Amino acid sequence: MTSGSTNGTAGLPPGPRREALRLEPGASVAALLSRMSRSAFQGRKLGEAFETWRWMIDGESLICIGLAGSMASAGLWPLVTWLVERRYVDLVVSTSANVTEDLLEQRGVPFYRLEPERADDERLWRDGYYRFYDHVVARDEYDRMEDFTSAFFDDLAGRWPEASIPGVLFMRELGHWLERQGLGRSVAATCARHGVPLFVPAAPDGPLAEGYRASARRGPVVDFFRDYELALRVMDRYMAPGCGTSAIFVGGGVPKDFIQITATSVCAVRGGIEASPHRAAIQLTTDNPVFGGLGGASVASEGISWGKESPAGRNVMVFADFTIGLPLLCQGLLDHYGPGHRRARRHIAGSVAALLDDPDPAGQPR
């Protein structure tokens, strides 16, 4: 006999009833995800993430998204631009690769699938291919993409009047330049066009480093510490007791840490007495929390101890491959809101732009 009651019958249930997952002919992905939220394990968590993302979209908070992992090479960049265009995210933090490798397909470069268990990497090198686990791209085309970005450095050096530039404004200038090159569908160009700040705190860790190396003119210096000051200005404006911030993490890495640490920094700026957590957080990851890395640190538990997430928040940790989870979530949002929907938070873009552009007495963005 199990413990938990004294009269041989079960006590009060600890939570809602788990429901069996049944198929429904013609049902949408949105309907499936809603049913999954009442099921079990990571399917349940994916369903809860869908409900939480809808709560973010319908609410008042500033929605931040962190992009890590090889999303662009896997062909997920159109999902990111779709989210930006529909105003489902207000601030983007990304790895360098995810906002440059998306240029390959837009420049007409194909990726090819292969079976990773039978890949001959020595042969791939001889034949001129770079491998991303189960797909490859031609080495010379990838290298040309890196060299292509050198023209942006030359262009910026001739136009930017100051000796330095914050990283977020550097990425906005890159987005505008890509638009002029006919690459307006890129993540950077889409963010710039829609007034969504794009932070890339580890910008040299990717193709932009080769573009910088190959450029004829090198300036202005990208000031990443100024970048963080600007991020804190934005977060301080929106974090509780304001309308609040929400966070979505696709993978972990530097983008997750950048968004998470703004909560601890804003807390310190405000005196360090009360936490300034995100009001809701979703993470899609395959990182294991038991090894102590930030990538697997749960937004539903461990992050609360740092004041990054609220103990009363809608925090969902989904241990799943983002190439599975993100397409299902985006399709679910499309099903739920319809093809013409735009989030009614247009004023956020103007407010954030003002925070980024408002100069201090020295004439620099604060």
- With a CB cutoff of 8 Å and minimum separation 6, the contacts of 78 are 185
* Sheet arrangement for strand 91-94: 198-199, 91-94, 62-67, 245-250, 278-285, 309-319
What is the pLDDT, as a whole number, of residue 344? 85
State how far the alpha carbon of 96 is from the alpha carbons of 210, 211, 302, in Å. Answer: 12, 12, 27
CA distance 162 to 355: 19
Residues β-bridged to residue 225: none
- The total of other beta-carbon atoms located within 10 Å of residue 219's CB is 16
CA distance 361 to 366: 9
Which helix H or strand E contains 25, and what residues bound it?
Answer: none
Q: Is residue 220 part of a domain?
A: yes
Q: Is residue 124 part of a domain?
A: no
Q: pLDDT tens for residues 65-123?
A: 999 999 999 999 999 999 999 999 999 999 999 999 999 999 999 999 999 999 999 99
Entry pTM: 0.94
Check whether 362 has a pLDDT greater than 80.
Answer: no
Q: What is the CATH number of the domain that holds 189?
A: 3.40.910.10
How confident is the model over 276-300, as a mean pLDDT?
95
Q: Is residue 16 part of a domain?
A: no
What is the pLDDT, as a whole number, of residue 361? 36
Per-residue 3-state assignment (H helix, E strand, C coil) for 145-213: HHHHCHHHHHHHHHHCCCCEEEHHHHHHHHHHHHHHCCCCCCHHHHHHHCCCCEECCCCCCCHHHHHHH
Q: Is residue 10 part of a domain?
A: no
Average pLDDT, the chain: 93
How confident is the model over 273-277, as a mean pLDDT?
93
Check whether 217 has a pLDDT greater than 70.
Answer: yes
**Total residues found in the chain within this entry:** 366
CA distance 112 to 20: 39
Q: pLDDT tens for residues 134-165?
A: 999 999 999 999 999 999 999 999 999 999 99
256 is catalytic: no
State how far the alpha carbon of 29 is from the alpha carbons of 49, 245, 257, 335, 343, in Å. Answer: 13, 27, 31, 7, 20
Q: Is residue 89 part of a domain?
A: yes
Show the domain range for 83: 29-100+149-357
Q: How does residue 4 score in pLDDT terms, banded at 50, 70 and 90?
A: low
How confident is the model over 169-183, as a mean pLDDT?
97
> Of 308, 314, 336, 345, which residue is the catalytic one?
308
Q: Is residue 295 part of a domain?
A: yes
Q: Is residue 121 part of a domain?
A: no
| Domains of the chain: total | 1
Q: Is residue 133 part of a domain?
A: no
